[in-house]
Amino acid sequence: MRFNIALAALTGASFLTHQLAASRLWWPQPSWFLESLLFTAFSTALVYHYLLAFLKRQPGKFILLYLLSITVKMVAAVAYLVTVLLLEPAGRATNAVAFLILYVLFTLLEVVFMWRPSQNAQP
C-alpha cells in the first residue's frame, strides 16, 4: 500500500514539476513527456508487484528473477526510447533526457521499496 502511495506521489510530483518547468520556460517541453511518465510508472508498478509476489512464493530464486526483471525492463525502455526518438526527431534531446530522468527516479523508488522485503526473505 505504501508503495502505491509513493508511486502516485512521485508520478504526480513529476507531472507537476514538468508543468511548472515548461510553463516558466526553464526547459523545453518534451513532446512525449506524458507517455514517458505513464510508461515508467506502469512498468515500475508491474515489476514491483510481480517481484513482491514472487518473493513470497520462492524467496530463494528472488535474486535471479530480480536480475531478469532489470534486463527485461531495460530492453523495454530502450525499445520505447528508440521508438520515441524515431517518431519525434525534432525533440530527440529533450525527450531522451526527460525519459532518462523519469527512468532513474522510478527505478530508485522500486529499489528502495524492494530493499526491506528482499532482506527479510534472505536465509
Q: Containing domain of residue 25, as a range?
A: 2-121
Q: What is the mean pLDDT of the chain?
A: 88
Mean pLDDT of 5-18: 92
C-alpha cell at 10: 512521485
Q: How many domains does the chain have?
A: 1
Phi and psi (nearest 5°) for 30? -65, 135
Measured distance CA(95)–CA(80) in Å, rounded? 11
The model's pTM: 0.85
pLDDT tens per residue, range 87-106 = 988 888 889 999 999 999 99
List the helix and strand counts (H, then E) for the chain: 4, 0
The region that residue 26 occupies, defined by phi over 0 for left and psi between -120 and 50 for alpha, beta otherwise, is alpha
